[in-house]
Amino acid sequence: MSMKAELFKEIVTFIKEYKGLTFYCLDELEKLYPSVSKDALASILSYEFQSKMRAVYSKSQQARNKYWEAYNKGMKAKEDGVILRISKDEGIAPCLIAKLILLEYLERSKKVEDENVLQTVNRYLKNTSLIPDGDLAVEVFMCTVFDNLYSPAADVIRHATGQQYEIQLHKEVTKLNLAFRDEEYLRRWGYDKTPDIKLEVPISIDGFLVNWIESKGLFGSEKVHREYTESQYLSYWNRFGPGLVIYWFGYVETIIDPNNKSFLIRDHMPTDIITIGNK
């Protein structure tokens, strides 16, 4: 389903102005926009917040000592959820703040060699019971629970979601009795950038020729669509001709260009198709 540009801008504005954890921001979005699917809202939130984090996180690394001192001050005051509070105050994801504090903790304690610090931090985030300091372990664990964008669990869910919709696409294309080659097959033949599906026989959808299909388990905003067009879709078009892009969580109406002859955009796999060459 396409989303009106005005509604999309309203959602983005709310996300940018929200003061607090993204965990709760998603709850607020669901209450404010009940007509929009949770998947679409979560996808928009994820992209907008991660764009913000890319801009501020490099600067935040310079403030590691400040976060470390704030953490220790909170612990001495026997405050619960110190890192979560710092995250909210600074507008930075809990697990990113936790990562910086863990880096400072390891460097100050000299518990591991310098070249192994980042590996150790990532291991601690995945399994907080390995952190030698029990209080810090509890604090970091709370971050992994309340961070729905940067926690190890969030990474797994994102990857699983992408795979889930690729599998769904395969099932629907198979149900339509369409012969195709998948991404793995194409890579074995030397293609570095490949769509999820390359049809063996082209199909027609609403009079538009389709040679390939790309599945995206996310919401198609203008920025998302522009990035994927430049990094993927145009390459597919150059190699295989026109195709179909599916944004399973919907898309903003402004990405539809009636003059675009490179690919169609849908939020589902169309069933009203014509196989080219069939009578």
Q: What residue type is assigned to position 87 of the chain?
A: S
Stronger pLDDT, 60 or 197, i.e. the higher one: 197
Query: Please, which pLDDT band fits residue 223 given cuts at 50, 70 and 90?
Result: very high
Query: Please, which pLDDT band fits residue 49 given cuts at 50, 70 and 90?
Result: very high
Segment 215-222 mean pLDDT: 96
| Percent of the chain residues past pLDDT 70, beyond the cut | 94
Q: What residue type is assigned to position 76 of the chain?
A: K
pLDDT of residue 279: 44
Stronger pLDDT, 194 or 188, i.e. the higher one: 194
Segment 29-55 mean pLDDT: 94
Q: Return the minimum-mean-pLDDT range out of 49-58, 69-78, 110-119, 251-260.
A: 110-119
| 130-162 pLDDT, tens digit each | 999 999 999 999 999 999 999 999 999 999 999
HEC-encoded secondary structure of 6-54: HHHHHHHHHHHHCCCCHHHHHHHHHHHCCCCCHHHHHHHHHHHHHHHHH
Query: Please, which pLDDT band fits residue 255 given cuts at 50, 70 and 90?
Result: very high
pLDDT of residue 9: 97
Q: Which of 189, 190, 210 is nearest to 264 (CA)?
A: 210
Query: Please, which pLDDT band fits residue 189 given cuts at 50, 70 and 90?
Result: low
Query: Please, which pLDDT band fits residue 54 given cuts at 50, 70 and 90?
Result: confident
Q: Return the minimum-mean-pLDDT range out of 21-35, 98-112, 187-201.
A: 187-201
Q: Which of 217, 216, 222, 245 is nearest to 9 (CA)?
A: 222
For the cut 70, the answer to whether the pLDDT of residue 114 exceeds it is no
Please state, in angstroms and rounded to a whole number, the distance separating the CA atoms of residues 228 and 234: 9
pLDDT of residue 118: 86
Segment 104-120 mean pLDDT: 80
Query: Please, which pLDDT band fits residue 110 given cuts at 50, 70 and 90?
Result: confident
pLDDT of residue 113: 67
Segment 246-271 mean pLDDT: 95
- The CB density around residue 131, as the number of other CB atoms within 10 Å, is 22
